[in-house]
């Protein structure tokens, strides 16, 4: 059903995986580059971490939706989706909310261009249909290959998985990642690094 491509990050001593639909081989190499580039700067909370903390989710200006409603709106409104997996004890989940999602420019960009979905796999148990199979939020996260929180999963406007990024992502990188995915630059084999250095590359390829 789903191909899994694995990367190894020595600093974290763990494997991270991106999930991409099996019919997308033309730009999977570009997706490798996206995750490798971001993994250089991320940190995540592991389930067995001794740093468990009571971290209340900080509200933001983002219009969060439930997973089933959100995925339906993705196809209906022809917008890509962001699915944010978090837990209450994860300090980097709270950091992601306070420093990234609460940023006015990022929240506005997400509200205008994405369907934003927030899931706590430890509490949310709504079944969702993924490529013909009904799965729980925890199983959906397992499909990404990520075992740490937070994990951010991206879907395209046709309700198909594009990539998953484990760990905390810096604000500047995150905004560029959103624009990169919204413009579907990965289809043209443009790396995130190249896009960040020269955003007009994507428009040039489209033309």
Give pLDDT tens digits for 158-201: 888 888 998 999 998 999 999 999 999 888 888 888 888 888 88
> E strands along 22-113, which residues?
45-46, 64-65, 81-85
pTM of the entire predicted model: 0.73
The pair of three-digit structure tokens given for residue 180, joined into one six-digit string:
């990169």
Q: What are the C-alpha distances in Å from 92 to residues 67, 97, 100, 195?
A: 22, 8, 11, 26
8 Å CB contact between 50 and 178: no
Q: What are the C-alpha distances in Å from 132 to residues 2, 135, 163?
A: 12, 10, 19
Q: Which domain holds residue 72?
A: 2-206
Residue corresponding to tokens 């989940």:
93
Q: How many residues does the structure list for the chain?
A: 207
- Strand-pair category, 151-155 with 161-166: antiparallel
8 Å CB contact between 177 and 34: yes
Q: In this predicted structure, what is the pLDDT of residue 44?
A: 55
- Buried b vs exposed e over 111-122: b needs ≥16 C-beta within 10 Å? eeebbbbbbbbb
Q: What are the C-alpha distances in Å from 102 to residues 53, 94, 108, 139?
A: 20, 11, 10, 28
Q: In this predicted structure, what is the pLDDT of residue 168?
A: 92
pLDDT per 10-residue tile (average), the chain, 207 residues? 30 31 36 42 49 40 91 91 94 94 95 95 83 82 84 89 90 93 88 86 75
Q: In this predicted structure, what is the pLDDT of residue 78?
A: 92
CA distance 112 to 127: 27
Q: In this predicted structure, what is the pLDDT of residue 82?
A: 96
Q: In this predicted structure, what is the pLDDT of residue 47?
A: 47
Task: Return the axis-axis angle of helices 28-39 and 171-182, rounded to nearest 10°.
Answer: 170
CA distance 18 to 164: 5
CB proximity list for 193: less than 8 A, separation 6 or greater: 33, 37
Domain count, the chain: 1
- The CATH number given to whatever domain includes residue 144 is 3.40.30.10
Helix (H) or strand (E) holding 49: none
């Amino acid at each position: 059903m789903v191909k899994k491509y694995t990367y190894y990050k020595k600093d974290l001593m763990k494997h991270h995986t991106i999930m991409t639909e099996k019919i997308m081989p033309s730009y999977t190499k570009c997706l490798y580059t996206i995750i490798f580039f971001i993994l250089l700067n991320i940190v995540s909370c592991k389930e067995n971490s001794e740093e468990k903390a009571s971290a209340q989710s900080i509200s933001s200006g983002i219009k969060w939706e439930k997973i089933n409603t959100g995925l339906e709106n993705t196809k209906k409104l022809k917008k890509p989706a962001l699915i944010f997996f978090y837990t209450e004890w994860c300090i980097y989940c709270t950091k992601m909310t306070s420093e990234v999602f609460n940023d006015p420019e990022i929240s506005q960009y997400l509200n205008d261009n994405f369907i934003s979905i927030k899931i706590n796999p430890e509490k949310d148990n709504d079944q969702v249909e993924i490529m013909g199979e009904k799965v729980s939020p925890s199983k959906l996260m397992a499909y990404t290959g990520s075992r740490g929180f937070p994990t951010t999963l991206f879907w395209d406007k046709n309700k198909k998985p594009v990539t998953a990024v484990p760990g905390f992502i810096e604000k500047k990188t995150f905004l560029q990642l959103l624009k990169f995915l919204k413009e579907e630059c990965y289809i043209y084999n443009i790396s995130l690094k190249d896009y960040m250095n020269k955003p007009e590359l994507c428009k040039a390829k489209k033309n």
